[in-house]
Amino acid sequence: MSLKDKLHVLVVDDMATSRGLIINALEELGIANVDYSDNGNAAFKKLAARPVHLVISDYNMPGANGLQLLASLRKYKTTQKIGFVLITGTADPQVIAQGNQLGMNNYLKKPFTTDAMRACIERVVGPL
């Protein structure tokens, strides 16, 4: 069984179209265990109840943004080691620096290709 068969991913994005693009890219990569949330607060509740291996989260969302979600995850023993990839349309250096300080594992700029998604994920979890 390969890593992509074992990997559990939670996609967090408030926009259905963006969420769909991320999920489609994951499916193209052969990652089948994918769940989603449409905001950071709902994602945290889901992750506290059942942690995953990797979170791929949009930055700009109502309620808790991607970095607020990351900060919450890093506070608790059951969620602090979850891999975290931030997806952003701007890749603002201040946002990236703050993400790095909070323990972000990688980031991906929108728009992205499936190959870019693969490279980004592999830098976090290893070869798929």
Rg (CA), the chain: 13
Residue in the structure block whose two tokens are 């989603």: 36
Per-residue tokens: 107: 């980031």
Domains of the chain with bracketed CATH: 3-125 (3.40.50.2300)
How does pLDDT run along the chain (128 residues), one tens digit per residue?
Answer: 788 899 999 999 999 999 999 999 999 999 999 999 999 999 999 999 999 999 999 999 988 999 999 999 999 999 999 999 999 998 799 999 999 999 999 999 999 999 999 999 999 999 99
Nearest to 124 by CA among 69, 67, 86, 72: 86
pTM above 0.95, yes or no: yes
